[in-house]
Amino acid sequence: MKKKLMGIVTIIAIAAGAGYNVYASRSNVKLSDLALANVEALADSSEGSQSDCNTYCMVSYFDTCIIRYTNNTFTTCYDSRIRRSN
């Protein structure tokens, strides 16, 4: 009976220690204004990016590719032939 009780107490102590470690390891990371501005700029789909031009524009020798987004903004990919070859 005494061994069984010690085993249960040991298991409870290990579980409590593990729970505390999980609780203590959670950290609140605060981003600077510059980091938040960078995240916002990356998430903003109103401005096109080189990856949009590479994804949606066909290789063309004569045409300029214009991408229209759902919020009625546009991105112009000039000379996409040169951009795709790099």
In tens, the pLDDT along 27-84 reads 666 778 887 777 776 666 555 556 666 666 666 556 677 777 767 777 777 655 544 4
Structure tokens at 41: 């700029």
Structure tokens at 31: 């981003």
48: helix, coil or strand?
A: coil
Domain holding 16, by residue range, is 2-85
Residue 3, φ and ψ in degrees, nearest 5? -65, -40
Dihedral of the CA atoms 6, 10, 11, 15 (nearest 10)? Answer: 150
Q: How many domains does the chain have?
A: 1
Residues 41 and 21: their CA atoms lie apart, in Å, by: 36
Contact 70, 81 (CB under 8 A): no
- Specify the pTM: 0.33
